[in-house]
Amino acid sequence: MLILVPWKPVVILFGFLAALVLFSYFGTALIQGKNPFAPYGDVANRVTFGQPAAHPAPGHKHTHKPNPAKSD
């Protein structure tokens, strides 16, 4: 018995899924601020030893001294 498979819808579905994966990869890379075309071992994505690690700046504490009492 010969089973016939309609290849055109299968190819269209496979192409749609491949495009969906690629668009989501490029979209996530751009949202995260990374270069989607840089290879994994590229210098663009590597942190060098002289470069400090990114961390939020500490909050500044403001101390207010009371004004000295004026003597008239």
Domain count, the chain: 1
| The pLDDT of residue 57 | 63
pTM of the model: 0.48
**pLDDT (tens digit, 9 = 90+) per residue, 2-28?**
888 899 999 999 999 999 999 999 999
Residue 67 covered by a domain: no
Is 27 within 8 Å of 19 (Cβ atoms)?
no
Residue 51 covered by a domain: no
Residue 19 covered by a domain: yes
Residue 40 covered by a domain: no
CA 32/CA 52 separation, integer angstroms: 19
CA 63/CA 6 separation, integer angstroms: 76
The range of the structural domain enclosing residue 14 comes to 7-33
CA atoms within 13 A on the CB side of 30: 6
Residue 24 covered by a domain: yes
Residue 25 covered by a domain: yes
Residue 12 covered by a domain: yes
